[in-house]
């Protein structure tokens, strides 16, 4: 009985941690996308990079490349990020 109770408790703790991660990702994405909509690409860039580290995605790769492309003096930095989604 104790084993079952322990397993159920562990499962519930894991679900709670996953829900927090999803909320954090959603919040970061919303904040970063607001910066993109206001054409503030330099502020959106570190948020998309953080999201890509937390949860790697070709969508984030594209958005990082897009931010670099629209940030003065950073066009060359955009190439590796824009090539990855294009190749797949």
The model's confidence at residue 37, banded by pLDDT at 50, 70 and 90, is: very high
Residue 36 has pLDDT above 90, yes or no: yes
Query: Do 86 and 78 touch, CB atoms closer than 8 A?
Result: no
H helix intervals, the chain: 2-37, 41-54, 58-69, 75-87
- Over the stretch 6-35, which tens digit does the pLDDT of each residue have? 555 554 445 455 556 778 889 999 999 999
Please tell me the predicted confidence (pLDDT) of residue 15.
46
Identify the pLDDT of residue 2.
Answer: 63
Q: Which domains, from first to last, does the chain contain? A: 2-87 (1.25.40)
């Amino acid at each position: 009985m104790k084993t079952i109770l322990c397993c159920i408790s562990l499962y519930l703790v894991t679900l709670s941690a996953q829900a927090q991660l999803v909320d954090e990702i959603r919040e970061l994405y919303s904040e970063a996308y607001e910066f993109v909509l206001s054409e503030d690409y330099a502020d959106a860039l570190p948020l998309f990079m953080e999201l890509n580290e937390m949860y790697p995605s070709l969508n984030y790769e594209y958005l990082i490349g897009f931010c670099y492309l629209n940030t003065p003096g950073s066009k060359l930095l955009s190439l590796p990020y824009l090539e990855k989604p294009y190749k797949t």
